[in-house]
Structure 1
Amino acid sequence: MLASALTAAALTAGGLGVTASPAAAAEACPTSKLCLYNGTHFYQLTVTSGHTSTCIYYYKQFGLLSISSYVNNLPVGVRVYTASDAYHYTYEGTISAGGSSSNAGQFGYRGFTCTGTATPVAPFWP
């Protein structure tokens, strides 16, 4: 028990950082970032981005099937798209600047987000 506590303290002090498991506590979204979570109630933070004019292909790049919860601390809105295949997509809605949802359902299934003036470029996923 003492050895585990010392190991955790050493890892934290060494900069590796020890955090609570996603099931233990909600994960905060940093200032000026978009945060996409795999779980509801801000659990399992999977994607963070500070870019205000880019598309994030979260299914292709991070394996995130859909957005279960989100926080948008960016100064711009975030458009969410669902991809029906690697070349076809449907606009689902916009996450407003400063917006958040603790239970977004299956928002953006197999999709991506675009911020600012960024536009989607296919293929969206393999």
Structure 2
Amino acid sequence: MNLRRKIAVTVSALAMTVGGGILTAPPAAADEPCGSNKLCLYRSTLYRTMEFSTGSVNDCWMSSAYNLTDPYAGIMSYRNNLGVKATLWYYGSGAEHAPSSWIGPVVSIAPGGASSNTTGGDAVFNFSTKICTGSQKPWVF
């Protein structure tokens, strides 16, 4: 009887441990932190799915290289912890190195700027071609 009782208690404790683990809901998707002196761009709202992060204060990057433009979701949230602005540009037509080929700056993200949801704002967050920091221009290589 004592052995049966020990087995029953062990099985019961094991069941509660496993069952408790199954019944415990996983934590909600937490926002991904953006380091100090970084620009972070996210493909999802609420600072989830970080696709781009940089500490560079005078450079440009193609949005498409980071899945941050059409046909993807675009920039759905952002944090700018840099000491300089970040600017989104749109490529119109012509030679890529010609200033007249670029439309913009379409949106500037101020130092310290943040948005957890850009979907209610300007569509440029979904269709920008280049992301530049500081005074860098998209036609300068």
Per the normalisation by structure 1, the TM-score is: 0.69
Aligned length: 101
CA distance in 2, matches of 1:121, 1:81: 10
Aligned structure 1 segments of 4 or more residues deviating by more than 6 angstroms:
none
Higher helix share: 2
1:102 corresponds to which residue? 116
- Which residue of structure 1 aligns with residue 103 of structure 2? 90
Q: Deviation of residue 85 (structure 1)?
A: 6.2
Counterparts of 1:39-54 in structure 2, within 5 Å, are: 39-54=44-59
How far is 1:108 from its partner? 4.9
Taking only aligned residues, the RMSD between alpha carbons, in angstroms, comes to 2.5
* Aligned equivalent of 2:8: none
| Aligned residue in 1 for 2:85 | 77
Identity fraction in percent: 32
Tell me the distance in 2 between the aligned counterparts of 1:115 and 1:102.
20
Please report how far the alpha carbon of residue 109 of structure 1 lies from its aligned counterpart in structure 2 after TM superposition. 1.0
1:1-126 equivalences in 2 (<5 Å): 24-59=29-64, 61-65=65-69, 66-84=74-92, 87=96, 88-91=101-104, 92-105=106-119, 106=123, 107-121=125-139
- Tell me: CA distance 1:90–1:108, structure 2 relative to 1, closer, same or farther (3 Å): farther
Larger radius of gyration: 2
One-letter amino acid matched to 1:62: Y
Unaligned ranges ≥5, structure 2 = 1-25
Q: Could you give the per-residue CA deviations for residues 5-58 of structure 1, whole angstroms, max 9, x where no partner exists?
A: xxxxxxxxxxxxxxx99x721111111000000001101000000000001212
Q: State the TM-score, normalized to the length of structure 2.
A: 0.62
User: Does 98-107 or 46-55 show the bigger shift?
Assistant: 98-107
Structure 1 unaligned segments of length 5 or more: list them.
Answer: 1-19
Change (3 A) 1:110 1:76: closer
